[in-house]
């Protein structure tokens, strides 16, 4: 009843093929947008925005990138952290060495550089598939970590191999407060999400899914496997690169190779597995689950501080987190996004039985 499409007649293919064809979805989306633009700054504390929301949004961008490659195109990647690192270091070097470039362009260029790197990493994907490709991307991960840990040139010669990111200005306006950073990230998230959503419902998105579902048949109907896979690598690492740059500039405010290690790659992979492979919404749900849940568990744990030894507390935290992951994977192996789909199906009739 709450989610009924009755009476929403589509009289043209254009309407039927709209990005959000169901009215309730559009309302929900507009409400969410208003909430995150107007509501959040009014309601949330600076601590919540800087500590929860900014990383959540950045991880969602990274997850969209990996989902395009792994969820939509079926190419398993363990090197997403490397693409993020390439994006972060590119952005730093562009911004520090050529301060004339507007910061938004810096982020986009950083994405492009990551995309080129992604195409290089993905180039063996025509020949090697599945787990073997995952190992190849793993090699990229270690290679990138090694490069950024070894050559101080990438951090402007800083001996500590860690350096603060330069100040950001947009049209003369300096990005300083948490809220400025939040809006900057939010802008990238909104545009990036719509862009990804459009891609996956267009010809290129269908080609990606065709390669994932049945690559021989895809080739027989005229899809070029190499181009399709490499375009997925390019778009995926573009998102990864932008996410990495935003992570460095808007969240941790420094460039540090340890921030993009293998664990980061796995973290993004967990996000899309838990959120839902082949779903843009799933990227947000997965990011929320992986990023925000531990923080919330941590806050809850603080309530018990003093009563339980802190070492034990942090262990319990990890156990609950791990337990929840397993619980969700058993309840819905296709991820939170599928859970939401099922809920929507039910809501079409609820509360009436038929």
User: Which positions touch other proteins (CB under 8 A)?
Assistant: 13-14, 16-17, 19, 195-196, 198-199, 202-207, 209-210, 212-214, 216-224, 231, 235, 278
- Is the CB of residue 65 less than 8 Å from the CB of residue 83? yes
Nearer to other proteins, 55 or 192 (CB): 192
In whole angstroms, the minimum distance from the beta carbon of 229 to other proteins comes to 13
Shortest distance, position 278 Cβ to other proteins, whole Å: 7
Q: Toward other proteins, which CB reaches closer, 71 or 166?
A: 71
Q: Rank residues 195 and 321 by Cβ distance to other proteins and give the closer one.
A: 195
Q: How far is the CB of 12 from other proteins (least distance, A)?
A: 8
In Å, how far are 21, 40, 59, 63, 277 from 56, measured between CA atoms?
A: 27, 14, 5, 10, 18
Nearer to other proteins, 74 or 166 (CB): 74
Which among 209, 238, 242, 245 has a CA at the least distance from the CA of 119? 238
The secondary element (H helix, E strand) that includes residue 163 is strand 162-164
CB count, 10 Å around CB of 74?
21
Return the residue matching tokens 């689950």: 289
Backbone dihedral angles phi then psi of residue 255, each to the nearest 5 degrees: -110, 125
Which CB, 220 or 330, lies closer to other proteins? 220
At 160, list the tokens.
């500590």
Q: Which residues does residue 168 pair with via DSSP β-bridges, in sequence order?
A: 175
- Nearest distance, CB of residue 159 and other proteins, angstroms: 42
Q: Which is nearer to other proteins, 199 or 259 (CB)?
A: 199
Taking the C-alpha atoms of residue 143 and residue 155, their distance in angstroms, rounded to an integer, is 17
Residue 321 Cβ, how far from other proteins at the closest point, in Å? 30
In the complex with other proteins, the residue whose CB is nearer, 14 or 47, is 14
Question: If you write DSSP's letter for every residue of 285-346 in order, what string do you get?
Answer: HHHIIIIIHHHHHHHHHHHTBTTB-HHHHHHHHHHHHHHHHHHHHHH-TT-HHHHHHHHHHH
Least Å from the CB of residue 202 to other proteins = 4
In the complex, what is the shortest distance from the CB of residue 92 to other proteins, in angstroms, rounded to a whole number?
26
């Amino acid at each position: 009843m709450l989610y009924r499409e009755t009476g929403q007649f589509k009289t043209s293919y254009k309407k039927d093929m709209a990005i959000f064809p169901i009215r309730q979805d559009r309302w929900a989306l507009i409400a969410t947008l208003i909430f995150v633009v107007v509501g959040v700054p009014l309601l949330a504390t600076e601590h919540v925005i800087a500590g929860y929301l900014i990383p959540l949004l950045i991880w969602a961008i990274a997850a969209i990138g990996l989902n395009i490659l792994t969820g939509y195109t079926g190419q398993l990647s363990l090197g997403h952290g490397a693409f993020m690192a390439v994006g972060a270091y590119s952005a730093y070097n562009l911004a520090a060495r050529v301060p004339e470039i507007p910061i938004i362009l810096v982020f986009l260029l950083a994405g492009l550089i990551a995309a080129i790197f992604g195409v290089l990493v993905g180039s063996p994907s025509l020949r090697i598939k599945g787990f073997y490709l995952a190992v190849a991307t793993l090699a990229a991960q270690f290679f990138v970590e090694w490069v950024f840990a070894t050559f101080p040139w990438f951090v402007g010669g800083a001996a500590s191999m860690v350096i603060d990111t330069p100040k950001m200005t947009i049209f003369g306006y300096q990005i300083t407060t948490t809220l400025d950073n939040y809006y900057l990230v939010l802008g990238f998230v909104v545009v990036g999400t719509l862009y990804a959503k459009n891609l996956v419902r267009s010809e290129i998105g269908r080609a990606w899914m065709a390669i994932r579902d049945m690559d021989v048949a895809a080739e027989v109907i005229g899809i070029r496997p190499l181009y399709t896979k490499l375009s997925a690598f390019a778009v995926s690492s573009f998102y990864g690169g932008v996410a990495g740059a935003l992570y460095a500039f808007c969240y941790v405010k420094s460039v540090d190779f340890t921030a993009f290690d293998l664990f980061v790659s796995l973290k993004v992979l967990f996000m899309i597995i838990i959120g839902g492979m082949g779903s843009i919404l799933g990227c947000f749900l997965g990011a929320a689950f992986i990023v925000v849940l531990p923080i919330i568990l941590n806050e809850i744990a603080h309530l018990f501080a003093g009563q339980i030894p802190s070492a034990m507390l942090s262990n319990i935290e990890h156990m609950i987190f791990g337990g929840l992951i397993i619980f969700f994977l058993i309840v819905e192996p296709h991820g939170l996004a599928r859970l939401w789909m099922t809920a929507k199906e039910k809501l079409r009739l609820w509360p009436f039985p038929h």
